[in-house]
Amino acid sequence: MPTPKLIVVVGPTASGKTSLAVLLGKKFNGEVVSADSRQVYRGMNLGSGKVTKKEMMGVPHHLLDVADPKRIFTATHFARMGRKAIEDIVKRDKTPIVCGGTGFYIRALVDGIVIPDAKPNPTLRKRLEKLAAHELFEMLKAKDPERAATIDPKNPRRLIRALEIVDALGKVPTLKKHPLPYPTLFIGIARDKEMLKSLIEKRLKARLKAGMLVEIKRLHTNGVSWKRLESFGLEYRYGALFLQKKIDKETFLRELTKQIVDYSKRQMTWFRPDARIHWITEPKDAVRLAAKFLA
Partner RNA sequence: GCGCAGGUGACAGAGCGGUCAAUUGUACUAGACUGUAAAUCUAGCGCCUUAACGGCUACGAAGGUUCGAAUCCUUCCCUGCGCA
* Chain contacts with RNA (rule: CB under 7 A): 36-39, 44, 47-49, 72-77, 101-105, 113, 115-120, 125, 147, 150-152, 154-158, 160-161, 165, 172-175, 193, 231-237, 258-259, 261-263, 265-270, 272-273
Report, in Å, the least distance between residue 145 CB and RNA. Answer: 12
Report, in Å, the least distance between residue 146 CB and RNA. Answer: 8
How far from 261 is each of 1, 26, 40, 109, 232, CA to CA, in Å?
44, 30, 22, 26, 16
CB nearer to RNA: pick between 61 and 147? 147
For residue 247, the SS3 value is coil
CB nearer to RNA: pick between 27 and 228? 228
* Cα of 23 vs its chain's centroid, Å: 21
Report, in Å, the least distance between residue 2 CB and RNA. Answer: 33
DSSP 201-238: HHHHHHHHHTTHHHHHHHHHHTT--HHHHHHT-HHHHH
CB nearer to RNA: pick between 90 and 106? 106
Report, in Å, the least distance between residue 78 CB and RNA. Answer: 8
Give buried/exposed letters for 78-117 (b at 16+ CB in 10 A, else e).
Answer: bbebbbebbeebbeeebbbbbbbbbbebbbbbbbbbebbe
**Dihedral, 103, 257, 43, 90 alpha carbons, nearest 10:** -30
Report, in Å, the least distance between residue 62 CB and RNA. Answer: 16
Report, in Å, the least distance between residue 49 CB and RNA. Answer: 6
CB nearer to RNA: pick between 99 and 290? 99
CB nearer to RNA: pick between 5 and 158? 158
Give buried/exposed letters for 131-157 (b at 16+ CB in 10 A, else e).
Answer: bebeebbebbeebbeebbeebeeeebe
CB nearer to RNA: pick between 170 and 183? 170
